[in-house]
Amino acid sequence: MRRTAKAPAKVTLFGEHAVVYGHPALVMAIPIHVTAVAEFSEDFSLESGPVILKHLALAISEGEVKVIGRTRDEVLRYFSYILEALKVLNVEKVKVSLSSPLPVGAGLGTSAAVTVSTIAAVSALLNRHMDREEIANLAWEVEKRVQGRASPMDTSASALGGVLLIGKEADGWYRKRVRAADVPLVIGLFRKRKSTAELVSGVAELITRHPFASTIMKTIGELTERAVESLEKGDLALLGELMNINHGLLEALGIVTKEVANAVHSARLAGALGAKVSGAGGGGAVIAVGDDVDEIAAALKASGAERVFVVKGAARGVHVE
């Protein structure tokens, strides 16, 4: 008996970093999936498909951890999301196998998709019914335990799918579904030079040194709210313009590498109506909107993108097959 769950990755359309300070962000699930297969097993073991961990495997049996390939720390960092998910589900004798076309840490919410797909597959195996809201909440709990601090953005996008506006009010986080038109989006992945945690703390230090910089976060929040309308109407010109403003503000926060800055400008020269870094930065993902997807994709590749994807609309949330 085995159960398979597929959870989508995501792009942050607007509001990364500002969301850490409670301002709204817009996030979209994309049709690129992490697949988790859960089955009963005598021991507790984890395996990964060829891309996520490049054939690495880790087995935990009677307290002994066996790692094949790479360094132990690196492997444990990747697996910590699965281990923590199994802990919150209170499961011991299970085998989880993962596969994904994306590397972990690519800036597309892969760790959230790993967590969400694991929770969905294991809970289905155990016949413990969980709706997508419950999976989203549990996966966020796992991310907080592993990372120390996380907004519910990535886990909500992967569990619930579609386009979501996420932000904070006095009584906690909210997420609202946005009825977005399908927009042509080109995504480029660049070598990530810093971890999300380093980038988030770098921004926090910048704001401590220059408290006026917190107004940048407020402005990002305002433009994110304005972007909802552009998505609902499918107004690519307005969407692109707001993306460009958001990118400029993220540059001001110091999270954009030279390579990504050049790629954003090349995408605009190739016809993108807007382009920006997406996610924590330090390399990572770039998104560009425009109808000339082939030209924009070629420009991102020529600027050093390791992978380029074209998506035409949002994906649905996690599903069990």
Among all residues, which ones are annotated catalytic?
154
Output the smallest distance, CB 26 to ligand MEV, in A: 12
Distance CA 274, CA 265 (A): 9
3-state secondary structure of 267: helix
Helix (H) or strand (E) holding 152, with range, is: none
Sequence-distant (6+) residues with CB within 8 A of 69 are 53, 54, 55, 56, 57, 75
* Shortest CB 162 distance to ligand MEV, Å: 18
**C-alpha to C-alpha distance for 233 and 147, rounded to whole angstroms:** 36
In one-letter notation, the amino acid at residue 273 is L
CB nearer to ligand MEV: pick between 96 and 227:
227
User: Nearest residue to ligand MEV, using CB?
Assistant: 151
Minimum gap (Å) between residue 289 Cβ and ligand MEV: 19
Q: Which is closer to ligand MEV, CB of 282 or CB of 290?
A: 282
Query: How far is Cα 99 from Cα 77, in angstroms, rounded to an integer?
Result: 17
DSSP 8-state secondary structure symbol assigned to residue 55: S
Q: How far apart are CA 140 and CA 146, in angstroms?
A: 10
Minimal distance, residue 3 CB to ligand MEV, in Å: 28
d(CA 271, CA 127): 50
Cα–Cα distance, 106 to 306 (Å, whole number): 10
Return the number of the residue (61 or 215) whose C-beta is nearest ligand MEV.
Answer: 215
Beta carbon of residue 210, minimum distance to ligand MEV (angstroms, whole number): 19
Nearer to ligand MEV, 141 or 154 (CB): 154
In the complex, minimum distance from the CB of residue 147 to ligand MEV, in angstroms, rounded to a whole number: 8
| 169 Rama sector, left if φ>0, alpha if ψ -120 to 50, beta otherwise | beta
Q: Please say which residue, 95 or 175, places its beta carbon nearer to ligand MEV.
A: 175
Give Cα separations from 134 to 15, 35, 120, 145, 261 (angstroms): 24, 19, 10, 17, 38
Q: Is the CB of 115 or the CB of 123 nearer to ligand MEV?
A: 115
Q: Which SS3 state, helix, strand or coil, does residue 240 take? A: helix
**Sheet arrangement for strand 185-190:** 274-278, 284-289, 185-190, 307-311
Which stretches of the chain bind ligand MEV, using CB under 6 A? 12, 16-17, 19-20, 150-151, 153-154, 196, 200, 279-280
